Chains A and B, each alone.
Chain A
């Protein structure tokens, strides 16, 4: 049962990942990415990381992808004509890297079964509570720093996207597009 779900989720994840990279229209790539996020969340649930699955959906699918769609629409991104010149080299590189990783993994001797029977732990504490407990005690400092990161990112994004703040006027081509 467990492996069946892994098989389903895994296949879809791989397929959509390839679609993201291969499709020409940006919007199609974003939609494929969305599907992939959903299945990753499903994978997290099978791994008993429910809290993360929820956060993944909210943050990634709900915020980040929406942001991407906004920008794609705003900039009216056209379809890509072709792949980059280094297409073949990149593909070859990818295959080689994959082969290396497969080799490492097969030779590594990783555990087959999880260390402890997960059924017993589900009773003692839920995933959310465990994560929360760890987050607010052991990892409190990084948690606060994370909030700072978000603050800085927000300020930076606003600053950079403001009109005329980079010290240059928008070129005539952009003005023509934006005035339409």
Chain B
């Protein structure tokens, strides 16, 4: 059987990939997509632990994480559309009104 640590490392790789994606993509939509990667990585982790510790709570958590991810995507994309209406751009660098 594959040891638990393998699942953890797999999850870590996907998570880090997601983080790097947030940091290097210039498109807001791609940033949101990278966030989805991170969420999925944690899901893998939870399910692996749930299996290995024989506790269903992990899966229940994944259930809720899924819910929240869906809600977040909906709202996030709505914001992007509203932003696009305002500035006709979705490049992250152009959205710098908080600049000093």
Contact = CB atoms under 8 A, between A and B. Distances in A.
Q: Do they bind each other?
A: yes
Interface of A: 2-3, 6, 10, 13-14, 17-18, 20-21, 26, 29-30, 33, 36-37, 40, 43-44, 47-49, 51-52, 55-56, 59-60, 63-64, 67-68, 71-72, 74-75, 77, 80-84, 86-87, 89-91, 93-94, 97-98, 101-102, 105-106, 108, 110-116, 118, 121, 127, 130-131, 134-135, 139, 142, 146, 149-150, 152-154, 156-161, 163, 166, 168, 170-171, 173-174, 177
A154 B70 CA distance: 10
Interface in B8-26: 8-10, 12-14, 16-21, 23-26
A160 B79 contact: yes
A111 B4 contact: yes
Contacts of A67: 73-74, 77
B90 A75 contact: yes
B74 A105 contact: no
